[in-house]
Amino acid sequence: MPETVSYFLMAWTDPSLLLLTAAGTLAGIYVGALPGLSVTMATSILISFTFAWDINQALALIVGIYCGGVYGGSRTAILLNIPGAPSAVATSFDGYPLAQRGEVGQAIGLSTVMSVIGGLIGVLVLASVAPFLAEMSLQFAPRDYFLIAGLGLLLVGSLSAQSLARGIFAAALGGVIGLIGLDPVTAEPRFTLGFTNLMGGIHYVVVMIGMFGVAEALFQLHQLNAETVRQKVDRIVPSLNLVLKFLPLSIRTSIIGVIVGALPGTGGDIASLFAYDHAKRSVKNPAQPFGKGAYEGLVAPETANNAAVGGAYVPMLTLGMPGDAVTAIIIGALVIHGLNPGPMLMIQTPHIFWFTVGNLVLANLFLLIFGLTGIRIFARIVELPRAILIPTIMVLCVVGTYSLNSSMTEVYWMLGFGLVGYFMKIYGFQMGPVILGVILGPLMDKSYRQAMSSVGNDGTAFLLDLVTNPLSLILTSAVILLLLSNTPLRRVLSRRSR
């Protein structure tokens, strides 16, 4: 127990870690708030610089950026009606009308306090559930990992893309990219097309920087001349009565956020939409109608998307499965630092878990401080023209990629992935499933082959295992239900039931 406390307080007592968490949170708020800069983009670029650092320092900075970035998106959603991040889309529904009513200070203040409440509830769930889940996950068979990863890819595919088929395609493409290189078991080349420099595979950070950084920067060129609206910022700290009034709703939507965030592949963007929908259904008589500046419409998504951060860490730390795109990147960082994300992480390196928990709490406290201050300066920064931001992002992408292996070939790969990602984005494919595919592809390949070997390469026995083992049966049913819910069959059945 004393060890756990010392791990928990590590970031609080070490000045360099404290500073990095604070710097990360502050940077995250601004990165998340600037339209065109996403927290995933920032993390993927930044992570390449931290490989030479101590793992705690790298994690401290990333945790700060993650928490700050998820919250930061709400700022521009309220001030300018431009969500700085996908997780702030629902915030803009009522946040901007509040700003139009001249209540921008109150709206930002309330969203900050609620984000912190949501974030802390998420961490509480992480700290209480993850150790049990990690212990339980030791009983998982390779086929279960295969099914969980598949379920995660299906979920992110069905929720984040225009159609399930697009999501599945993007995830499978990511899986193929993740498998490029020599097979880790037999050393046979896979998808190398005879090129020796592909034998080592393509670094997932190269794909991420290309698809999130470059593709997004190129996409932003379409809105180069979008006008920004100037806002007057007034009283910020919300009254205690106002906070208490919305506390029950914030607790409910935090729980929604944690659950949605914990599902592999989903994240704050989906959690916030679910929470907004819940608020709309459960709050019968808001002071203002939803969509016209209801505080409930601001509270629900803001608590949920921050609670989803803690939720997303649950599958990452216990199963080695990313909860969302950012935790996918963090998994990569842990691997590069010689750690093994998954059930053994909690057993072999419990300090990493408790350090992360303590760090998340600290980041939420910094969020409260930075969230309630500097709003006037912030209002000016978000007016930075995209014509300045976009070339700067490109330079950061180049520096980030080059710093991985000092290889210009990887820089060209990064640009190539950026262009592919740009066109995929134009035609309605999401980048999230691709990145999750890159991370989960090799894991699924390994689990699938282990599962198949354990039944002596007998396909029928493998299929039987999927439906005879209780956990596998639950997971298989979830996969089938998810697939069916996205087919015309569901529409037919729901029409009949009506």
Axis-axis angle for helices 89-100, 268-282 (nearest 10):
60
Nearer to other proteins, 54 or 458 (CB): 458
Cβ proximity of 134 and 346 under 8 Å:
yes
Q: Tell me which residues in 305-364 interact with other proteins (CB under 8 A).
A: none
As measured in angstroms, the least distance from the Cβ of 322 to other proteins is: 18
Query: What backbone phi and psi angles, to 5 degrees, belong to 373?
Result: -125, 165
Nearer to other proteins, 54 or 183 (CB): 183
482 binds other proteins (CB under 8 A): no
User: C-alpha distances in angstroms, 479 versus 39, 68, 141, 375, 398?
Assistant: 29, 33, 17, 45, 39
Q: In the chain, what's the furthest Cα-to-Cα distance?
A: 69
Cβ proximity of 130 and 318 under 8 Å:
yes
Cα–Cα distance for residue pair 23/372, rounded to 1 Å: 16
Cα–Cα distance for residue pair 291/288, rounded to 1 Å: 8
491 binds other proteins (CB under 8 A): no
390 binds other proteins (CB under 8 A): yes
395 binds other proteins (CB under 8 A): yes
Sign (positive or negative) of CA dihedral 28, 31, 33, 37: negative
396 binds other proteins (CB under 8 A): yes
229 binds other proteins (CB under 8 A): no
Nearer to other proteins, 131 or 189 (CB): 189
185 binds other proteins (CB under 8 A): yes
Cβ of 412: how many Cβ atoms within 10 Å? 12
Q: Tell me which residues in 444-473 interact with other proteins (CB under 8 A).
A: 444-445, 448-449, 452-453, 457-459, 462
Nearer to other proteins, 142 or 286 (CB): 142
176 binds other proteins (CB under 8 A): yes
Nearer to other proteins, 104 or 415 (CB): 415
For residues 207-246, one letter each, b for 16 or more C-beta atoms within 10 angstroms of the residue's C-beta and e for the rest, the string is bbbbbbbbbbbbbbeeeeeeebeebeeeebebeeeebeeb
3 binds other proteins (CB under 8 A): no
Cα–Cα distance for residue pair 251/481, rounded to 1 Å: 29
483 binds other proteins (CB under 8 A): no
Choose the binding region for other proteins from 114-122, 189-197, 273-281, 327-335 (rule: CB under 8 A): 189-197
Dihedral angle over CA of 472, 163, 170, 39, nearest 10: -100
- Choosing from 1, 188, 285, 338, the residue that interacts with other proteins (CB under 8 A) is 188
For residue 495, count CB atoms less than 10 angstroms from its CB and return exposed for 0-12, middle for 13-18, buried for 19 or more: exposed
What mask, x for binding other proteins by CB under 8 A, covers residues 153 to 172? ----------x-xx-xx--x
408 binds other proteins (CB under 8 A): yes
Cβ proximity of 359 and 13 under 8 Å:
no
Nearer to other proteins, 360 or 444 (CB): 444
406 binds other proteins (CB under 8 A): yes
- Choosing from 229, 287, 426, 484, the residue that interacts with other proteins (CB under 8 A) is 426
369 binds other proteins (CB under 8 A): no
Structural tokens at position 438? 């890159």
As measured in angstroms, the least distance from the Cβ of 216 to other proteins is: 12
Q: Return residues touching other proteins (CB under 8 A).
A: 48-50, 52, 163, 165-166, 168-169, 172-173, 175-176, 179, 183, 185-186, 188-191, 193, 214, 218, 221-222, 224, 385-388, 390-392, 394-396, 398-399, 402-403, 406, 408, 411-412, 415, 419, 422-423, 426-427, 441, 444-445, 448-449, 452-453, 457-459, 462
